[in-house]
Structure formats: structure tokens, C-alpha cells
Amino acid sequence: MTAAATPADVESARGASRESAGTRSAAAATSVLVLPGVAWLGVFFLVPLAIMAVVSVGAVDSAGHITLANPSLRNYSHALDPEFIPALLRSIYYAAATTLLSLAIGYPVAYWISRYGGRHKVALLILVMLPFWTSYLIRTYAWVMILRDNGVLNSVLLDSGVIDEPIPILNTDVSVILGMTYGFLPYAILPLFVSIDRLDYSMVQAARDLYASGRGAFIHVTLPLTMPGLVAAGLLTFIPALGDFVTPSVLGGAQTTTIAKLVQTIFTAGRDWPYGSALGFLLMGVTIVGTLVALRSLRREVMGASA
Amino acid sequence: MTERDLPGMSFNEALDQKLAQAKWSRREFLGRVAAFGAAAALTQLLIACGQGGASPTAVPATTGPSPQGTTTAEATATPAPTPVPTPEKELFVYNWDAYIGEDTVAKFQDKYGIKVTYDNFVDESSQIGKIQSDGKGGGYDIHYPASTWVQSFITDGLIQKIDHSLIPNLKNLNAAWQSPDYDPGNAYSVPNFWWTTGYAWDPRDISGNLTSWAELWDPSRKNKMSMLDDLRECFAAGAFRLGLSPNTTDLAELDKILQLLEQQKPLLRFYTATDQITDMVNEVVEMAHCWSGDWVQMTYDKPRLKYVIPSEGSIRGNDVMVISSGAPHPIAAHLWIDFNLDGDVSAASTNYIGYMGPNDAALPKIDDYIKNDPRLNPPKEVLAELIELAYLKPDDLAHYTDRWNALQA
Amino acid sequence: MSGKPSRWLTGFTVLTYVFLFAPIVVLIVFSFNDSRRSFTWQGFTLQWYEKLLANTEMIDALRVTLVVAVAAVVGATILGSLLGLGLARLRFRGSGGVQTLLLLPIMTPEIIMGISLLVFFSQLFGLNGSIGQIALAHITFCISYVAITVRARAASLDPRLEEAARDLGASAVGAFRHVTLPLLAPGIAAGAMLAFALSFDDLVVTSFNTGVGSTTLPVQIYSGIRFGVTPQINAISTIIVAVVSIALLLAWRLGAFRTAARAVVADPEAA
């Protein structure tokens, strides 16, 4: 990503004479900037996670207690069961659709706020977040009221003559994706805004002259320049969407179970922490490999585009 | 791990040494591993290692099943002859939301001058997780688990023996509930309310008197039915249809039930454990698998809705009041239980939430529509035929979970 | 800076705001609905507001939620911003590992994070859940969101700006304060807003870390959801939206945004 490229510029700009001083101050900067956050995540995230990793090779004994008497990878092989595949594919489908929609909706909005928001930019951004300072559950239930067969949306469509009978939207793939897009849209808009807002519009203008089309300028200049924002927005949408199970349970139906819901079930109704942890870790493994591969190929593409 | 320490096994030696430094016996250590999970204990061990043998402050002094026999340290600390010990000034209660009379907490506070902190949890797993978290009740005095948990809580030392001398209102319990199977003599628990499982339907959409579980498999109601998002309850419904036990652990039988549930799934609008009341009231579905108290709540908004305990048999259950082994306010906790067993108090709760309890003194004050309804207050012979969901051994439960996941995925 | 937006783009943006606020309008309307759980209009009432004001559990839960959210925002914004800036600017050994570490909390299934923290606090420290414990948990899962947002901003900045300031004689701290920080501010503000929303809404992780008297609003709401979303919740949300809107309007009228906009969004490059 761009992060890797910029420090190189710094180093070269500094010149050889200041290199050693630069290295020293870089070390100091690293310890000030990076260490506190890493230390925090180490203590409050990695240590607890390591405990669960140990749990995942354990088992539940006949009294219902977790035992490490015979540590094994049994839970992992159990979790590789193909029965999870439909739910996994469904989760990926929901998360991908949510991400694409969020980026497609979020980009123009973030662009508009940044370009034309003027001195109201901050207020407009707070307005994007305002609905999210109410509770998630009631927002989702408000969607139930809007989407149900005799709800607000169907009434409006019926009265205006667009449809003759209510269309069933609730408890389908459509309502799940709509609800998730609603829930994750701010996580796309904000990172997109902070990146787009750094655009130098004189460059865009120059590109318009060069490519003689708005589209060409957008594809060759605007998009590559705002790629860090797109990547951040994509990550902050796709990954949490993959783990969402509240939206599919409230707005979804009998046929919309996600893999995160099954993990939840194993922990709660199944009372099997070792097995649930193992399945959870497998999912994290798949997600992280997928993400890193996607980021790498994206970086190659961006580099290619901007070169 | 075995109790034998072979000379060559340096890890075991080191372990024992660390345990000794940490002032734990190996037995205690194993007990602790059992009580919550080896991983946690191992990390604690690492802490002990890090402290190089200093007494581990992180370890709570009272671990293990010590405080069971007596009321608690505080109670015994009070001079012995006092007949009723002075209650503490506070009480911490952990219960389902809206599962108690509307002003029970306020009345208790007024009567005893004890400040009650009444917290609600999200679902049973966070309730049970809280009780088990520190091996002595998670900081709360009173919990309301389902009766099926009582035995395992006793074994793990999570709850303490109840001092019957502090609860004179125990006499109000119906004779049939003086010594339930899950806790003979109510030594550790006091029954609270009971429920049955069945289904509710809207007679505007469905005519006739429904009695069978098979109605929930009727293809003409595709997309208009919901089942509880509860694997045991769904398997029980299937088991009753097939004439099997809802507590079966026979794999072939479980497969048969799974087949039946797989036939049902495409007909369902959803599985839910939270929306069955709202969705029946708002006509999202016309038939819903639910608990008896859910139906009472539904009728507050839509009196026409009906409910049946299916003729093939069904589930009954009850919850209990228990006192944590580490309860910070054990005397106040006993007063709380006694207060809730009072006829007036118990009746007020039942009239508010729609669940009946085994309280004879409450009976005269319970609203007629509840106590005269055989579905809410089933006659003895019906109650006798209803079955309690047994606590399943982990291996058996895993067979249920696997099949449930296959169904859901 | 401005110019004229295309009608299509403006219309699209307006529609998006309508989409964002549609459920809020519904919940405001239903906070005045005279029925405990009906989805249809049954008449106007103020009873849910009266009941809410008498409902100490709900008010306490709101207080706990706000305290936790503020702590989470402060903690996560500080740690996350530093981390985001560091990752964008510095090349150090293990930076790839740190990037991956940052993604892990977002990838961890919520229930695993919740239970792992429960085990961590109860077994290692004998803690039984509290406002502080919830705040620590929230800071932990908010850091990544702040860091990734700030990093996206920092990565689009030209590091030579700070260099130039230093070459002009500014101290490292001075260059950071007067050049880098104002440029990063929108990213930091955006990260803080995301952190607030995340903390305010969290249910699963919180439900395993609550203790006596530290129930948050989402836990309180979810625990009662079986009985329908009580319109009291709609009422409390309406009040929150109203308070924030009024504060927003006041700030607008008092010109705070003009100053803020100048400080936050103004481009020192152009100055």
C-alpha cells in the first residue's frame, strides 16, 4: 500500500547526510507512535485471544467443564465440516454485496460533502453519524416496520399504484443486504471522506483537460489518489459485515443464517467453547488470508495504475 | 494429567513447585481448571511464575467449594444466639427483564430499607457465563437459572445452601414442590415460576381447534409460521411428532427428527427467540411456536389469539431462585427469597408476567383468567404428562448442536 | 474550492441522507404511538416519555453507556491515531505484523472477543465486570477503526510538508503540531465518531463484561426485546437525536463550525 512507498520518499528527500539522524529519530518516533497501541492490543486483545486459542485445543468433559487433559486439533477437524459451507458462502455473499453497495453509495456522498460541503462539512459529517447515535437494535426494528408486508414502504408503493399487492421484502436476502448496507454505510463514508478531502482539485482539473473526459480523469487520477480511503472503507465494511449476525437474525428469515450465527449457537446453546473457538479461529484464518491476498493484488494494481 | 509425579517429568515438578509457591494444592489447581477452564488457570499460573513465588495477589482467596455448608462467613460472624441476623444494606439481583411484579423491587426496598440493584442480562448464556465466571456467582447475590442447572451449580460450588430458618414463607410452596427431583428438599434452590411450550395461532386466519404439532408442518401456511430459535425446543417438537422422547440421545432417532425439521424449514418465515410476541401481534406470522408466557403477553394486545399444548405431549420447565456461594449480601438474599414467596407478592408477579408459580398462598389472588386456564395452570394430570428438558451431557448435546447447525446452515 | 455540483450528484446525496434518516423518522413517530408493541398507528400519547423519566434502570443504563462511550472515544482515538500515523509514516521492522494485528480485532467473532475478555478479567484479575472493564473492552475493539481511518488520511498526505516546516526551522514537535496535526484532524475526528457509534451500539462484547450496576443501554434493550421494543426506547432515542440536533444547530448559529471548519478542514498548504 501507499504506506510502504511514502517513507522511502522521506528517506530520499532527507539525503544521505541526515540518514543516521533520521534513523534514530525514526526509532524514537516508532516507540512514541506505535508502541502504546501495540502494547494495548497485546495485553487486552492478544493475551485474551491466546487463552481462547488454548481453549480451542481442549474439550468439554462429562461434567461440562473445559479440560486440557488431551489437547488435540480435533475441534478444528470437526469445524472443517462441509455442512458449514452454505452458511459461509451466504455470509460472504452478504458481506460482498454490502461492501459494494456501501462503497457505491458512500463514494459520491463523501465526494459531494468534501467538494461542495464548504464550511458545513463538519455538520454534514455529523449528520451522517447522527442516526448511529441511537441504538442499533431499534434502528433495525424501525426497518422491520418499514419493510414488512403491510409496512410503510409497501403502503406507499400500493397507494401510488406502482404495485398491486404487497411485495414480500422482509426476511429475505434483500432485507438483510439492505439492513447491513444501512448499518455499515457510515463506516464507508467517513474513511472515504477523509481521503477524498485531501484531493487536489487542480490536479483533477488538469486531468480533465488531459483525458478530455470526466470519466477518464476519474479513473486515471481521482480513483488512484483516493485508493487509501477506498481500501480503508472496504476493510471497515467487509470484515465486520462478514461477522454480523444481529442484522441477519432480525431482518432475515429461516433461510438466511450466517456463519457468525452458527459460531454464536455453538457457544451459547451448544455450550461448547472449545469447538466454538476452533470454528471462530478457522474463520479468522480464512478472513485474514483472503484480506491480505486482496490487499496485495490491489496494491499491485494501484501501483500499476499510478505508474 | 495424573497425580503421579515421575522423577523424569520436569514439567510436572515445575508445575508442582509453582503451585506450592502460589499456595495452591495440586488438587485445588485441578479443581480450578475444572471450574472454569484450563487455559485461564494456565495463564494464572504464568502470572504466578512471573511473580517469582510471591504470594499471588491476583488469586482470590476463597476459591473452590468451601462456603457451601454455612450461610456465609458474614452470617457466622454474627453472634450466634441472634435468631435473625441483621441484613446487609444492599442486594444484587440478576434476572430476566420484566420477569417479576412491576413494583416488587420498590416494595422490597420500602419494607426492608435494602437498596436493590436489579440487573438484566441478554440471554441465558450471559446469565450462566456470569454465574460461572469467578466460580462463585459473578458478584451477584441472587440468580434465576432454569432448574436443570441446579445440580451442576451445586457440584461446582457456585451456589450456597439455603437457610430454611430464614425463609418462613417456604410453607407457601405447594406440597408437590417441597422436594423436586433436581434439588431434594429445596436445599439449594427455591422454585419460582413454570412454563409450558406449545404454539399460538390467529383464529382469524386459521379456523378450527388445533391440537397437533403437525399443524406447524402444514404446507398451506408456508412463510406464515415461525419456530423458536432454540435447538432443544425444536428437536422436542419433532420428537413429540414422532412419538420419541424430547431427551433422546439415540443418534438414529436424532437423525429422524432432523429429517422432519428439514422438511419444515422451507415452510418457515423464521426461527426466533425474541420476536414471537411482536410478530404474532402484528400479523407477520399466523402461527408461532412459543412459551406459555409469550402467549399471555400476546393476548394483552390481541385477545383473540389462541394457544395450545399439543396433544402429542410437550415441554414444561421451571426456574429457581438461588444464592451465589460468593454472595456479598447473603442475609438480604434470604429476605428477598422469602419476600417473593409471600402470597401477595407472588400473585402480583404472576398477574403481571403471566407465568404461574407453585405458590398456594398466591392462588386466591391470581387473576381468574390465568389460574382457570388449563394451559397456564395445567391440572395435575396434564402437568404430569409434560416432560422437562433434561440437562444433556456435553457429548450428547454436541450431537444436537451438529444437527441443528446442519439444519440452519 | 467549490464549483457547481451536478444535479445528479446532489440528488443522490440528498436521497442517501433520506435513507439514513428514514428509520429515525419512524422511531420518532412511534415514540408517540399509543401502543406497547403495535407496528401501526394507534393514537398520540406522551406516556412513554413519562414512563421513561420514571424508569431509573433505563436512565442509569444511558448514563453508563455515555460514560463508557466517552472513555472509549478518548482512549481509542489517542492510541488509534498514533498507530495510524505511525503505520502511514514510518517504515520499521514488523510493520507488516502491526498492520495484520490491527485487522485482527475486526475479524475476531464478537462472541470470542467477549468471552476471551470475560475469562481474562475474571481469571487473571478476579474482576467481575464493571464500567471500567467495559470501557477497556471497547477501547480495544475501537482502536482498529480509528487507526485505519487516520492511516488512510495520513497516507494521502505528503510527508515533505513536515520536512519543509522542519527545514524552515520548526522543531519536530512544532512541525507536528502546526502542520501534521491540522492535516490529520479530519481523519482523527472521523475515527472518533466511528468509535463513539461502535461503543454506543455494542451488545455482544459488553454483555459478557457487565457487572453489578453497569448495564448499558443495548444490553438493557436487548434483554427486554422479547416483550417487543418498548416505545420507551424510541423515546430515549428521540431525546438523544433531539439533544444532538439542538447542540448542532446552536453550534451552527454561534459560528462554531466556521471556526471549526477553518481549523479542521482548512488547508494549510493553500495558506
Does B185 reach chain C within 8 Å, measured CB to CB?
A: no
Determine the distance in angstroms separating the CA of B387 from the nearest CA of chain C, rounded to an integer.
24
Provide the pLDDT confidence category of residue A24 given band limits of 50, 70 and 90.
low
pLDDT at residue number C257 = 55
The answer, yes or no, to whether residue B42 has pLDDT greater than 80, is no
* Choice between B80 and A242, residue whose per-residue pLDDT is larger: A242
pLDDT at residue number B1 = 38
pLDDT at residue number A275 = 96
pLDDT at residue number C114 = 93
Determine the distance in angstroms separating the CA of C118 from the nearest CA of chain B, rounded to an integer.
7
For residues A19-43, give the mean pLDDT: 80
Contacts of A247 in chain B (CB under 8 A): none
Provide the pLDDT confidence category of residue A122 given band limits of 50, 70 and 90.
confident
User: Cβ–Cβ contacts within 10 Å for residue B201, how many?
Assistant: 25
User: Cβ–Cβ contacts within 10 Å for residue B62, how many?
Assistant: 12
Buried b (16+ CB within 10 A) or exposed e, A138-161: bbbbbbbbbbbbebbbbeeeeeee
Which of C40, C120, C218 is the closest to A47 by Cβ? Answer: C120
Chains touching B (3+ CB pairs < 8 Å):
A, C
> What letter represents residue A221's amino acid?
V
Q: Are C116 and A280 in contact (CB under 8 A)?
A: no
The reply to whether residue C123 touches residue B281, judged by beta carbons under 8 angstroms, is: no
Q: Are B147 and B180 in contact (CB under 8 A)?
A: yes
List A residues 25-84 in contact with C (Cβ-Cβ < 8 A): 25-27, 29-30, 32-34, 36-38, 40-41, 44-49, 51-52, 55
Tell me the helix, strand and coil percentages in chain B, rounded to 5: 45, 15, 40
Q: Are B116 and C242 in contact (CB under 8 A)?
A: no
**Is the alpha carbon torsion for B364, B370, B372, B376 positive or negative?**
negative
Does B3 reach chain A within 8 Å, measured CB to CB?
A: no
pLDDT at residue number A213 = 78
Euclidean distance between CA atoms C1 and B266, whole angstroms: 56
pLDDT tens digits, B235-245: 999 999 999 99
Q: A12, A112, A194, A242: which to substitute to probe chain C, counting the most C Cβ within 10 Å?
A: A194
Q: How far is CA B348 from the centre of its chain?
A: 21
For residues B251-264, give the mean pLDDT: 98
Euclidean distance between CA atoms B233 and A26, whole angstroms: 61
Does B230 reach chain A within 8 Å, measured CB to CB?
A: yes
> What letter represents residue A257's amino acid?
T
Q: Is residue B341 part of a domain?
A: yes
Instruction: Report the DSSP beta bridge partners of residue A60.
Output: A66
pLDDT at residue number C62 = 93
pLDDT at residue number B3 = 36
Question: Which residue in B has a C-alpha nearest to residue A90's C-alpha?
Answer: B409
Does B40 reach chain C within 8 Å, measured CB to CB?
A: yes
Name the most confidently modeled range: B318-322, C148-152, C225-229: B318-322
C107 closest CA partner among C63, C66, C54, C148? C148
**DSSP states of B200-211:** EE-TTTS-S---
Non-local CB neighbours of B376 within 8 Å, separated by 6+ positions: B196, B292, B296, B354, B355, B356, B370
Q: Are residue B111 and residue B173 in the same domain, yes or no? A: yes
Chains touching C (3+ CB pairs < 8 Å):
A, B
Q: Are residue B323 and residue B404 in the same domain, yes or no? A: no
Q: Of B86, B108, B138, which residue constitutes the final position of a domain?
A: B86
Euclidean distance between CA atoms B254 and B256, whole angstroms: 5
Q: Are residue B278 and residue B257 in the same domain, yes or no? A: yes
CATH 1.10.10.10 fits A75-306, yes or no: no
pLDDT tens digits, B78-124: 444 455 789 999 999 999 988 899 899 999 999 999 999 999 988 88
Does A55 reach chain B within 8 Å, measured CB to CB?
A: yes
pLDDT tens digits, C77-87: 999 999 999 99
What are the structural domain ranges in chain A? Answer: 7-67, 75-306
For residues B287-298, give the mean pLDDT: 93
**Is the alpha carbon torsion for C127, C131, C136, C142 positive or negative?**
positive
In chain A the first and final C-alpha atoms are separated, in Å, by: 14
Determine the distance in angstroms separating the CA of A63 from the nearest CA of chain B, rounded to an integer.
7
Helix (H) or strand (E) holding A183: helix A173-196
Helix (H) or strand (E) holding B119: strand B115-120
The reply to whether residue C82 touches residue A47, judged by beta carbons under 8 angstroms, is: no
The reply to whether residue B266 touches residue A250, judged by beta carbons under 8 angstroms, is: no
Contacts of A272 in chain B (CB under 8 A): 394, 397-398, 401
pLDDT tens digits, A51-73: 999 999 999 998 888 999 999 99
The reply to whether residue B408 touches residue A87, judged by beta carbons under 8 angstroms, is: yes
Q: Are residue B47 and residue B103 in the same domain, yes or no? A: no
- Helix axes of A273-306 and A227-242: crossing angle, nearest 10 degrees: 160
pLDDT at residue number A299 = 75
pLDDT at residue number C251 = 77
Quick one: C100 exposed, middle or buried, by C-beta within 10 A (0-12, 13-18, 19+)?
A: middle
Q: Is residue C193 part of a domain?
A: yes
Question: Which residue in A has a C-alpha nearest to residue B271's C-alpha?
Answer: A254
pLDDT tens digits, C157-210: 777 877 888 888 888 788 888 888 888 888 999 999 999 999 998 999 999 999
Q: C38, C111, C196: which to substitute to probe chain A, counting the most A Cβ within 10 Å?
A: C111
Provide the pLDDT confidence category of residue A215 given band limits of 50, 70 and 90.
confident
Q: How many domains does chain B have?
A: 3
Largest CA distance in chain C: 70
Determine the distance in angstroms separating the CA of C184 from the nearest CA of chain A, rounded to an integer.
9
Euclidean distance between CA atoms B237 and A277, whole angstroms: 30
Q: Is residue C260 part of a domain?
A: yes
Does A6 reach chain C within 8 Å, measured CB to CB?
A: yes
Helix boundaries (H) for A220-272: 223-225, 227-242, 246-251, 259-267
Provide the pLDDT confidence category of residue C227 given band limits of 50, 70 and 90.
confident
Q: How many domains does chain C have?
A: 1
CATH of the domain at B127: 3.40.190.10
Q: Is residue B63 part of a domain?
A: no
CATH of the domain at C121: 1.10.3720.10
Non-local CB neighbours of B335 within 8 Å, separated by 6+ positions: B87, B108, B112, B114, B166
B192 closest CA partner among B344, B4, B321? B321
pLDDT at residue number B51 = 36
Does A24 reach chain B within 8 Å, measured CB to CB?
A: no
The reply to whether residue C1 touches residue A118, judged by beta carbons under 8 angstroms, is: yes
Location of C-alpha cell 441472587: B142
B344 closest CA partner among B38, B35, B111? B111
Q: How far is CA B397 from the centre of its chain?
A: 17
Largest CA distance in chain A: 78
Strands B306-308 and B189-201: antiparallel
pLDDT at residue number B288 = 98
pLDDT tens digits, C28-75: 999 999 988 777 788 999 999 999 998 888 899 999 999 999 999 999
pLDDT at residue number C6 = 84
Residue C265 CA: distances (Å) to CA of A15, B24, C101, C150, C218: 32, 60, 30, 14, 34
Q: Is residue B11 part of a domain?
A: yes
Q: Are residue B227 and residue B333 in the same domain, yes or no? A: no
Determine the distance in angstroms separating the CA of C10 from the nearest CA of chain A, rounded to an integer.
7
The answer, yes or no, to whether residue B53 has pLDDT greater than 80, is no
The answer, yes or no, to whether residue A20 has pLDDT greater than 70, is no
| Domain that includes residue B7, residue range | 1-56+80-86
In chain B the first and final C-alpha atoms are separated, in Å, by: 37
A vs C: CB pairs below 8 A: 342
Euclidean distance between CA atoms B317 and B321, whole angstroms: 14
Q: What percent of chain C has pLDDT over 70?
A: 93
Residue A283 CA: distances (Å) to CA of A53, A85, A265, B218: 13, 11, 15, 37
R_g of chain C computed on alpha carbons: 22
pLDDT at residue number A119 = 80
Which of B36, B120, B273 is the closest to C123 by Cβ? Answer: B36
Does B279 reach chain C within 8 Å, measured CB to CB?
A: no
Contacts of B230 in chain A (CB under 8 A): 269
pLDDT tens digits, A277-294: 999 999 999 888 888 888
| Domain that includes residue C185, residue range | 59-270
φ and ψ of C137, to 5 deg = -65, -45
Q: Are C197 and A198 in contact (CB under 8 A)?
A: no
Question: HSE (CB half, 13 Å, CA atoms) of B171?
Answer: 4
Q: Are C33 and C42 in contact (CB under 8 A)?
A: yes
A39 closest CA partner among B322, C139, C8, B87? C139
Buried b (16+ CB within 10 A) or exposed e, A194-204: bbbbbbeeeeb
Instruction: Report the DSSP beta bridge partners of residue B271.
Output: B227
Contacts of A10 in chain C (CB under 8 A): 89, 159-160, 163
Strands B287-291 and B189-201: antiparallel
Non-local CB neighbours of B406 within 8 Å, separated by 6+ positions: A83, B258
**DSSP states of B232-268:** HHHHHHHHHHHT--TT---HHHHHHHHHHHHHHGGGE
Global pTM value: 0.84
Determine the distance in angstroms separating the CA of A266 from the nearest CA of chain B, rounded to an integer.
7
Provide the pLDDT confidence category of residue B404 given band limits of 50, 70 and 90.
very high
Contacts of A148 in chain C (CB under 8 A): 39
Does C22 reach chain A within 8 Å, measured CB to CB?
A: yes
Q: Is residue B67 part of a domain?
A: no
pLDDT at residue number B126 = 83
The reply to whether residue A37 touches residue C79, judged by beta carbons under 8 angstroms, is: yes
Euclidean distance between CA atoms B214 and B310, whole angstroms: 9
pLDDT tens digits, B184-242: 999 999 999 999 999 999 999 999 999 999 999 999 999 999 999 999 999 999 999 99
pLDDT at residue number C89 = 82
Q: Are residue B238 and residue B304 in the same domain, yes or no? A: yes
Indicate the average pLDDT of chain A. Answer: 85
Determine the distance in angstroms separating the CA of B128 from the nearest CA of chain A, rounded to an integer.
10
- Helix axes of C110-119 and A259-267: crossing angle, nearest 10 degrees: 30
pLDDT tens digits, B109-166: 999 999 999 999 888 888 998 898 888 999 999 999 999 999 999 999 999 999 999 9
pLDDT tens digits, B354-377: 899 999 999 999 999 898 988 888
Euclidean distance between CA atoms B249 and B246, whole angstroms: 9
B92 closest CA partner among B35, B153, B30, B136? B136
List A residues 177-206 in contact with B (Cβ-Cβ < 8 A): none
Q: Is residue B64 part of a domain?
A: no
Q: Are C197 and C218 in contact (CB under 8 A)?
A: no
pLDDT at residue number B205 = 94
Question: Which residue in A has a C-alpha nearest to residue B231's C-alpha?
Answer: A269
User: Cβ–Cβ contacts within 10 Å for residue B250, how many?
Assistant: 12
The reply to whether residue A168 touches residue B36, judged by beta carbons under 8 angstroms, is: no
Q: Is residue C137 part of a domain?
A: yes
Q: Of B43, B70, B86, which residue constitutes the final position of a domain?
A: B86
Q: Are C2 and A110 in contact (CB under 8 A)?
A: no
Q: Are A62 and A276 in contact (CB under 8 A)?
A: no
Q: Are B341 and B242 in contact (CB under 8 A)?
A: no
Euclidean distance between CA atoms A204 and B82, whole angstroms: 87
* Choice between C258 and A212, residue whose per-residue pLDDT is larger: A212
Residue B307, helix vs strand vs coil: strand
For residues B304-317, give the mean pLDDT: 95
Which of C26, C40, C79 is the closest to A40 by Cβ? Answer: C79
Euclidean distance between CA atoms B294 and C36, whole angstroms: 15
* Choice between B409 and A149, residue whose per-residue pLDDT is larger: B409
For residues A259-264, give the mean pLDDT: 92
* Choice between B62 and B118, residue whose per-residue pLDDT is larger: B118
